[in-house]
Amino acid sequence: MALLFNLGVLWLFGPDKALEFLPGYLIERALSLDNVFVIALVFSTLGAAMLASVLKTRKARRSGPSLDVSSDEDQAGSASSRLSR
């Protein structure tokens, strides 16, 4: 797609502007691939810690939320006592 754009720049603005765009595009492309390798390196380094965190979270979700043992009536009573103060 960028090469088609470069052809448009060549046609509209001439070879000087097209030759300015093409190296810039190629450098940006190379840098974006470099970022992919850096991200892969970071994830591979921290992957074990992230996996343990995910597994711990899943285990906590399976055990269910902690249930409040007070009933709705107890909560309503305590709310009304707070209002009467």
What are 21-54's pLDDT values in tens digits? 999 989 988 888 888 888 777 777 776 666 667 7
Other CB atoms within 10 A of residue 69 CB: 6
Q: What percent of the chain has pLDDT over 90?
A: 15
Residue partners of 7: CB distance under 8 A and separation at least 6: 18
Residue-range definition of the domain harbouring residue 54: 2-60
- Domain count for the chain, please give it: 1
Residue 76 belongs to some domain of the structure:
no
Residue 67 belongs to some domain of the structure:
no
Residue 24 belongs to some domain of the structure:
yes
Q: Are 10 and 18 in contact (CB under 8 A)?
A: yes
Residue 32 belongs to some domain of the structure:
yes
Separation CA 71–CA 66 (nearest Å): 14
